[in-house]
Amino acid sequence: MMMDLFQLRCFVAVSEELHFGKAATRLHMTQPPLSRQIQLLEESVGARLLERTSRSVRLTSAGAALYPDALKILRLADDAATAARLTARGDTGRVVVGYTAVAGYVLIPTLLKLAREALPGIDIVLEEMVSAEQFRALAAEALDLAFVRPMHSEAELDYHCVVREPMQLALPADHPLARRRRIALDDLAGQPLVMYSEKEGKYFHDKIKSLFVATGVQPHYVHHIGQTHTIMALVQAGIGLAIVPASAKHVRFENVTFRDLWRQDVVAEIYLAWRRAGRNPAQQRLREFIVEHLTGAAASG
């Protein structure tokens, strides 16, 4: 038995109006084709659904049994069509977003709050990982969007710069250099420096290392660490100084202060990255929202 959705809509209209003329008007059709649809439905069901006289229309026992189920079927059909339409537009769906630990201090919480308000139908799943892992996850389609440091990737990706911030020196508040407004290159000669690891923190490792190349000034690297919050903890403990992105201030370790470097052109960047051949409409919707918000925030700032 196959029931046509239009036939069910005709049946529901007559069942609720108990009048073929009123039901036909409601459905924007004339009575003869409406009567034909009811007849076809009764043939499909194999039972009479309506009893009709010149003065009245009423449901048979079979019609009364079909009516609530017909409502459910039509509601499910409407919901399915709506869900498909919203998914195609990117209003609903699941987006897996990767981010670095530093991006998790302010950028990710701010964007997540705004996106939940503006795009409530999109389920955002967060995955914290270093940039190199994010690039691999993007290529494997395990991530839809990624907040990464600019690094080489073999995958076909597109990018949009979302953060550009200065690098600064983090040091214990009681350190002699803390009395200076800006740090000179020679100030770091021989100083204990907590360095980013070449593997997990390659972006910052290479950037910091390049500051001292061919200068004749070399700090004393005491530890190589992958994550900024661990580096900040070692600075707080007095283990050494560290060159970190300015957003590390948001970690808010006590007795740690920040000073500008001798060069103002040393900046850290975060890019939003995504696969060029992405097939997730919700990813595109969320991505456009993020770019639009950050562009607007930069303009107003």
Per-residue pLDDT of the chain (301 residues; tens, 9 = 90+): 577 899 999 999 999 999 999 999 999 999 999 999 999 999 989 899 999 887 889 999 999 999 999 999 989 888 788 777 767 766 788 899 999 888 888 899 999 999 999 999 999 999 999 898 999 999 999 999 999 998 888 889 999 999 999 999 999 999 999 998 889 999 999 999 999 999 888 999 999 999 898 788 888 999 999 999 999 999 999 999 999 999 999 888 889 999 999 988 899 999 999 998 878 888 989 999 999 988 755 444 4
Architecture per CATH, domain 93-162+269-300, reads as 3-Layer(aba) Sandwich (3.40)
Find out whether 280 and 93 touch, Cβ atoms under 8 Å.
Answer: yes
Tokens of 59: 């449901």
How far apart CA 182 and CA 261 sit, in angstroms, is 6
CATH 1.10.10.10 region(s) of the chain? Answer: 5-89
Instruction: Classify residue 73 as exposed, middle or buried by CB count within 10 Å of its CB (0-12, 13-18, 19+).
Output: middle
CA-nearest of 117, 126, 130 to 94 is 126
CA quadruple 214, 215, 220, 221: dihedral positive or negative?
negative
Distances (CA, A) of 292 to 91, 121, 160, 162, 274: 16, 18, 11, 10, 16
How far apart CA 271 and CA 137 sit, in angstroms, is 15
Residues linked to residue 270 through DSSP beta bridges, in sequence order: 163
Find out whether 263 and 247 touch, Cβ atoms under 8 Å.
Answer: no
Helices marked H in the chain = 5-17, 20-26, 31-45, 61-89, 107-118, 131-139, 202-212, 228-236, 281-300
CA-nearest of 69, 110, 39 to 301 is 110
How far apart CA 221 and CA 234 sit, in angstroms, is 13
Residue with token string 């052109």 = 265
Architecture per CATH, domain 165-266, reads as 3-Layer(aba) Sandwich (3.40)
Q: What is the distance between the terminal CA atoms of the chain, rounded to a whole angstrom?
A: 64
CATH 3.40.190.10 region(s) of the chain? Answer: 93-162+269-300, 165-266
Architecture per CATH, domain 5-89, reads as Orthogonal Bundle (1.10)
